[in-house]
Structures are given as C-alpha cells and as structure tokens.
Structure 1
Amino acid sequence: MNIAEIIPQDDYLLYIKAEDGQVGLFDIKPYLDSDVFAPLKDRGEFERIYNGKYFIEWDCGADISADTIQARWKNLGLPFVR
C-alpha cells in the first residue's frame, strides 16, 4: 500500500487514504504506552505527521509502516463518488 493522505482525527485515530483509493481508520492508542509513541499523547505532537508514502512518521521519531497500517486498519472501502 502507498499512502496518499493522512488526516489526524479525534481519539488518536488517523484517517488514511491509499493511492488505490481505499480509505480507512488506524488507531494509534494501542501504541501510546511505548516509549517511542508516548510523546504522541500531546495532541500537537500527534498532528505533526509526515507522509513517507510507505510509512508515516512523527517528529518524535515514532513511525509505522504502510504494511502495518494495512494489516491493522479499519478498512472503510472506496469512498462514494458521484
């Protein structure tokens, strides 16, 4: 999966759109207790996200691969287009 867009949502969710048009939600909460992801508890830090296409990364050094996202996201399918 190649990541086209990431939009931080409430409750530590990421809305992610893949280049193939699939969209989904990825929950960061299960990662927040680890040392690397703990800084993301700060909403400002959580929103400073970088799209590396094959991974996402934050300023604090935390990152998640597109493969992990695809394996664990709530796939919402293709968005409705008129």
Structure 2
Amino acid sequence: MIKVISAIPNSPNTLLVELSDGRKGTFDVGPYLERGIFKELKNPSYFKQVKAAYGGVVWPNEQDFSPETISVELIEQR
C-alpha cells in the first residue's frame, strides 16, 4: 500500500508530496476547493497546516485526501 511520506504546502492550492514508492511531485487541491468541507482550505494560513498522517494528508478540521487519490492525481517531478 502506498503512503504519503511528506506533504509540504507549495504555491496556492498545491502540495509537494513524497510517496512511499519513491515518487515525488505536486498534488493540486484546487479542483476540490468548492466542495463542502474543502472550502476552508482556501484560507492560506489554514492550508499551510497540512500534515502527512494515516497514509494520506490531513488538516486540523478533518479535511483529508487518501494516498490513493494523491497517487492517481500526482503530477510527478522528473
């Protein structure tokens, strides 16, 4: 099972992510920002509170993305 090893806030709405399978790249949260609980991630200071946990990424108010979602949508660095 793939897990998120690290997640670092990058430019607005993106995370620099490293996965347990060695892949690294950018995950764009932008497409989710108009959906329910994810609207809070529009706040830049709140967005920066992201952490890698439980295999995926999470924020304090329980917004999260699974490692599967991140793996599929990851824009890999070359």
Task: Give the TM-score normalised by structure 2.
Answer: 0.89
Decide which structure has the larger Cα Rg and report it: 1
Q: Which residue of 1 aligns with 2:39?
A: 38
Task: Quote how far apart the aligned CAs of 1:21 are.
Answer: 2.2
RMSD of equivalent CA atoms:
1.3
Aligned residues: 77
What is residue 16 of structure 1 aligned with on the other side? 17
Aligned twin of 1:80: none
Unaligned stretches of 5+ residues in structure 2: none
Distance 1:60 1:35 in 2: 12
Structure 2 distance, partners of 1:67, 1:19, is 12
Percent identity between the aligned chains? 26
Could you give the per-residue CA deviations for residues 36-76 of structure 1, whole angstroms, max 9, x where no partner exists? 10011101110111211511111122110000000111122
1:1-82 equivalence runs, <5 A: 1-77=2-78
CA–CA distance in 1 between the matches of 2:43 and 2:61? 11
Unaligned residue ranges in structure 1 (runs of 5+)? 78-82
